Amino acid sequence: MTKATILVVDDDPDILTTTRVALERAGYEVLTAANGLEGLGAVRISRPDLVLLDVMLPGENGYRVARAIREDEAAGVYERRNRIILFTARDLSDEPDREQLFSDFAQPDRVVYKPFEFDDLLQQIGELLSE
């Protein structure tokens, strides 16, 4: 069985490294990108099984990158739907209308709020990859 490939896109080098190491230990192949445009390029070239995408990125933010991935899907660029988990330190749960607006725009499969527990993240990744 081939290992699933996960692309981690985050501009914080500590989070990028820590997440990469934890995912590799869990048995995943991991690609990384430090900004939105680099992440979008990696999706288009490498076709990962899942994208962990930070919201606050230099250049194109995570919402826009997720939206661009969804637009590529609609145009038939990919043979399957990309699984996307947005992660963010900005909890919008106290602003449900705004949270729904961003979710409708980006269409992520899940949103994970920082700080997060790696066990919880791994569980969500496992659930999405088994769908």
**Count of domains observed in the chain:** 1
What DSSP character marks residue 98? H
Whether residue 13 is predicted with pLDDT greater than 70 in this model: the reply is: yes
Quick one: average pLDDT of 19-44?
Answer: 96
Q: What is the CATH number of the domain that holds 63?
A: 3.40.50.2300
Quick one: average pLDDT of 53-81?
Answer: 92
- In percent, the amount of the chain with pLDDT more than 90 equals 68
Task: Give the Cα separation of 121 and 63 in Å (integer).
Answer: 19
H/E element holding 122?
helix 118-130
- pLDDT number for residue 100: 64
The parent domain of residue 69 ranges over: 5-130
Q: Are strands 50-54 and 110-113 parallel, antiparallel or unpaired?
A: unpaired
- pLDDT number for residue 131: 82
Report the chain's mean pLDDT, rounded to a whole number: 89
* DSSP β-bridge partners for residue 8: 32, 52
* DSSP β-bridge partners for residue 54: 87
Structure tokens at 4: 């699933």
Task: Give the Cα separation of 5 and 34 in Å (integer).
Answer: 17
Which burial class, exposed, middle or buried, applies to 70 when counting CB atoms under 10 A from its CB (0-12, 13-18, 19+)? Answer: middle
pTM, two decimal places:
0.90
Read off the amino acid at residue 36.
Answer: G
Task: Give the Cα separation of 124 and 131 in Å (integer).
Answer: 11
Nearest to 88 by CA among 53, 43, 48, 38: 53
- pLDDT number for residue 121: 93
